[in-house]
Amino acid sequence: MAGRTGDRSGGRTTGAKPGGAKAPGAKSGGRARAPAAATAAPDDAPDATPGAHPGERIAKVIARAGRASRRDAERLIAEGAVRVNGKLIDSPALNVLPSDIITVAGQPLAAPEPARLWLYHKPAGLVTTARDEEGRPTVFDNLPEGMPRVVSVGRLDLNSEGLLLLTNDGGLKRRLELPATGWLRKYRVRVKGAPDDATLDPLRRGITVEGERFQPMQVTIDRQQGANAWLTVGLREGRNREIRRALGAVGLIVNRLIRISFGPFRLGDLAEGAVEEVRARMLRDQLGPEFAAAEAPRKTAQRLRTRTPEDATDAEPTARGATRQPATGGPARPPRPPRPRRPRPDGR
């Protein structure tokens, strides 16, 4: 079945106005002039006008199959590398159906993968971007081999560390980033100085920094450690460097920031640089039945460090709904001896 082309002018043509006046740009016959080129839809744009053209945007389908990001898929289309049912396409303004045959650079597109989610313990010193113009190391340069193409849910800046969620699905990414989700994000924060409750009260009430209003934060003082204090900060929005800027506005300099949880997902004792995959059942319980298709258990991606074949067979379940691979370097766990058989009352 041929692909469905997207709307070129908002799903309708503009004819003459009532009373005989022509619409701007309309020819004498009343037909609207088509735009010179279609504009690529943004990542959060709907796939189609309801009732107009069924299917999904082709760039989204390519991204779901793990071939490229949605932006890179649009670039591949512009370069003439994508065909639908054998026909070369030159615009991402195209909706396709599951029955359509799509090829990218001559290779058939793989079937879309179910949505998956990983917990990653980001070290400080990595930027959360696919390509850095300054050549700094990125999160995606340091993921384990065998990981599929993933995107981050939100960001952690260069000097921040801790829990970063990764997913292979753009729709899941956007859903988790929406403020409407209402999930609390918690951070352990070390600041220089000895703050008291009066110092932190503006953050609890909501603070405006450089004309930008931040929502009220949950802030507790955990302990004083020499010239520094440890705080726990919780917030429900993800503004750029929000915690650093808010604390700076009350005279506190952040010298360490660790995200410890994102909604129901916790960093726990996940080692720095390690990755765990969230079980499909937990995704379904937290996000709804649309993720139930990923119910089959999967093997967790390897950690960043090289692991031995013995380690690969010794995965342990964790309380966070993820499969944990043991750290490298320790001896393989010996097999548990068989439990002795208890004799039955009848002697058999």
Amino acid found at 286 = Q
Residue with tokens 């000097």: 159
Higher pLDDT, residue 9 or 117:
117
Pairing state between β 161-167 and 253-262 = parallel
Residue 260: per-residue pLDDT: 97
Span 312-316, average pLDDT: 36
Residue 309 in this model has a pLDDT that exceeds 70:
no
Identified catalytic residue from 157, 169, 197, 346: 157
**What is the sign, positive or negative, of the torsion defined by CA atoms of 157, 161, 167, 168?**
positive
- The string of pLDDT tens digits covering residues 166-195 is 998 888 888 888 877 889 999 999 999 999
Lowest mean pLDDT among 96-100, 153-157, 311-315: 311-315
| Helix (H) or strand (E) run with residue 257 in it | strand 253-262
Residue 289 burial class via C-beta count within 10 angstroms: exposed 0-12, middle 13-18, buried 19 and up:
exposed
Q: Where are the alpha helices (DSSP H) in 227-307?
A: 242-249, 280-287
Which helix (DSSP H) or strand (DSSP E) does residue 254 occupy? strand 253-262
Q: Please answer whether residues 300 and 323 qualify as being in contact, where contact means their C-beta atoms are separated by less than 8 angstroms.
A: yes
For 303-338, b/e burial (b = at least 16 CB within 10 A) is bbeebeeebeeeeeebebbbbbbbeeeeeeeeeeee
157 is catalytic: yes
Q: Which domains does the chain have, with CATH numbers?
A: 1-10+34-112 (3.10.290.10), 120-178+268-307 (3.30.70.580), 184-262 (3.30.70.1560)
Q: For all residues of the chain together, what is the average pLDDT?
A: 76
Q: Summarize the confidence of residues 60-74 as an average pLDDT.
A: 82
What is residue 306's predicted lDDT score, i.e. its pLDDT?
31
* 12-35: pLDDT as tens digits: 333 444 444 444 444 444 444 443
Q: Which of 301 and 338 is assigned the larger pLDDT?
A: 338
